Amino acid sequence: MTVETQTAGTGAGAATDTDVAVIGYGPVGQVLAILLARHGWRVTVVERWSQPYPMPRAVGFDDEAARILAAAGIGPFLDKFGENSRDYAWRNAAGETLLHMESAEHGHCGWPQATAIYQPGLEATLIDRGTDFPDLRVVRGQEVVELDDRGDLVEVISEDADEQEHTFTARYVVGCDGANSFVRESMESSLTDLGFFYDWLICDVVLREPRDFSPNNLQICDPRRPRTAVSAGPGHRRFEFMRLPGENIEELRRDETLWRMLEMFSVRPDNATLERHAVYTFQARWAGEWRKGRLLIAGDAAHLMPPFAGQGMCSGFRDVANLSWKLDLLLRGLADDSVLDTYTVERRAHVQNAITTSVKLGKVICVTDPVAAADRDAIMLAARNREGTGALPMSTAIPLTEGLLRCAEDGTPLPPAGTLLPQARVAGPDGAGLLDDIVGLGFVLLAADSPADLLDGPRRAFLDALGTRYAQVLPADEESRVPGPGAVVDIEDRYLPYLAEHGATAVLVRPDFTVFGAAHGPEALGALVDDLARRLGAPVPAAH
């Protein structure tokens, strides 16, 4: 496919061939392209491989990631390639359960708390969704070899398999081009590496007959061979085996070795088909700078983490959910260029927590010394006897402590700013469903009173320009009442108690579902809206 030259879109800036160039078209690049294209922006994707990668890599995501995927428009299709992960257990070499956790059917964000997925199915669905947008163009079989940030635009030069160069211009470039990111190298971004390196043999299989695994996801903390068995989406399973000290990688890759390992889970050539196998080196690192001028990075280009917390792909989805709305406002002329600096500040803090959590879990799992393993087992068994079975933690995504938020004079966020707004079912004029589906996406103002009574004209006009959705929350006991336009019934009794808990009559939520801030009464809400305008670099609405 060739890139067609067009005139520039809405907003200030030099005329370019496209508004945003996305380099790399894995799941993170796919979601970013969709989130931008649904706002009407011209998006050009350059992907070095001529065909999508046909094998699974990631095997799961959490409920926040599911919420982001739903925002990208594929919510109705998640069950085609995903299933509730159900439960997750750690056992020692003797088969004793060290830890057991259940995945809630409805997590904080309204979707299953953990979903096991078949990645090729996810990617096929996202790629198909991308075809809904005529201004989203995907150029496959070309590798970006040069980026020239000229201040008002970026010149992108790619090279095809015949070494022929292709050139186009973009207003911004986002590198979703993986661990060896060319965009990151072009930015000369620093890297923090925690020095956590372990080799694991990854085996993906398709079982020839249905089989129930209990627990559905299992980590065996055996010093003789730490190993893992998890769901990889409907009909698929993943098995992982740690390479032991001194063990030859080539020996580990041999078919005889693979099937000997899989026999530990009663998986054999007569009851399973080996889809793929590979030896991966788990790493833990993050980039220092995620933005330089008009160049940005997301996903594996910005961070790598061991899989033990299941947050690698989830973190990439959070990256682009954070970045896409900021780029949208900037391209529309509704935010200052400095809004992109908050992207690094906000996402890097989240990722550092996810990576350090993954490393801590890995250090517990990857124990090959029998004495150290026995000590670990004793501590974990004692803790389980005290605490019993637990639920999965909500997420490794800690609340934001800085960035584009309503803050106190000392710079700390004013609760609930920086936290994720929960998603529950509400009833609107046309029926019931999850909040995002009923109220809509973008900035959201939820209030116990009519927003029209809380906002003056200029502030309402400012929020309207941002594309804000408004909803007055009615009590759950009014479920039989059909709400009028701009109102929802709190049928699960989540939002009015939420407002009361924070002493607020209204909460203003960002497009990435993060709370910007809360307010009690019209005067405080006016100040909240003014603060958002200031932080975006937009003119503060003139109050009547």
Query: Residue 252 is encoded by which pair of tokens?
Result: 């580990």
**Using an 8 Å Cβ cutoff, are 298 and 174 in contact?**
yes
User: Would you mind telling me the total number of residues written for the chain in this entry?
Assistant: 544
Q: What is the C-alpha separation between 295 and 278, in angstroms, rounded?
A: 32
Q: What is the C-alpha separation between 93 and 80, in angstroms, rounded?
A: 35
Coil, strand or helix at 92: strand
Q: Is the CA virtual torsion 58, 63, 68, 73 positive or negative?
A: positive
Non-local (6+) Cβ contacts of 500 within 8 A are: none
- pLDDT for 32 equals 98
Tell me the CA distances in angstroms from 468 to 262, 435, 451, 471, 511, one per residue in order.
52, 14, 11, 10, 9
Q: What is the DSSP string of 409-448?
A: TTS-B-TTTTSBPP--EEEETTEEEEHHHHH-SSSEEEES
**Using an 8 Å Cβ cutoff, are 315 and 305 in contact?**
yes
DSSP structural state of residue 309: G
Where does residue 11 rank: exposed (0-12), middle (13-18), buried (19+ CB within 10 A)? middle
DSSP structural state of residue 514: B
Q: How far is CA 142 from the centre of its chain?
A: 26
Q: Is the CA virtual torsion 263, 266, 269, 273 positive or negative?
A: negative
- pLDDT for 387 equals 79
- pLDDT for 31 equals 98
Enter the pTM of the model: 0.95
Which contacts of 518-524 are long-range, i.e. CB under 8 A and separated by 24 or more positions? 518/406, 518/414, 518/415, 518/416, 518/417, 521/454, 522/453, 522/454, 522/455, 522/456
**Using an 8 Å Cβ cutoff, are 537 and 336 in contact?**
yes
Where does residue 173 rank: exposed (0-12), middle (13-18), buried (19+ CB within 10 A)? buried
Strand partners, 188: none
Query: Residue 426 is encoded by which pair of tokens?
Result: 């509400």
Non-local (6+) Cβ contacts of 26 within 8 A are: 53, 123, 176, 178, 299
Strand partners, 23: 46, 175
Helices (H) and strands (E) in the chain, counts: 15, 29
Query: Residue 148 is encoded by which pair of tokens?
Result: 């020239």
Tell me the CA distances in angstroms from 471 to 63, 429, 455, 482, 529, one per residue in order.
23, 11, 13, 14, 16
Query: Residue 435 is encoded by which pair of tokens?
Result: 């909040």
Coil, strand or helix at 201: strand
- pLDDT for 13 equals 59
| The residue to which tokens 């969709």 are assigned | 34
**Using an 8 Å Cβ cutoff, are 404 and 471 in contact?**
no
Query: Residue 17 is encoded by which pair of tokens?
Result: 């061939």
Domains of the chain in start order, with CATH, are 18-59+118-190+285-364 (3.50.50.60), 425-536 (3.40.30.10)
DSSP structural state of residue 517: E
pLDDT 10s digit of each residue in the chain, 544 long?
Answer: 233 323 233 344 579 999 999 999 999 999 999 999 999 999 999 999 999 999 999 999 999 999 999 999 999 999 999 999 999 999 999 999 999 999 999 999 999 999 999 999 999 999 999 999 999 999 999 999 999 999 999 999 999 999 999 999 999 999 999 999 999 999 999 999 999 989 999 999 999 999 999 999 999 999 999 999 999 999 999 999 999 999 999 999 999 999 999 999 999 999 999 999 999 999 999 999 999 999 999 999 999 999 998 999 999 999 999 999 999 999 999 999 999 999 999 999 999 999 999 999 999 999 999 999 999 999 999 988 887 765 555 455 689 999 999 999 999 999 999 999 999 999 999 999 999 999 999 999 999 999 888 999 999 999 999 999 999 999 988 666 778 789 999 999 999 999 999 999 999 999 999 999 999 999 999 999 999 999 999 888 866 5
> Which one, of 186, 140, 192, lies nearest residue 166 by Cα?
140
**Using an 8 Å Cβ cutoff, are 282 and 191 in contact?**
no
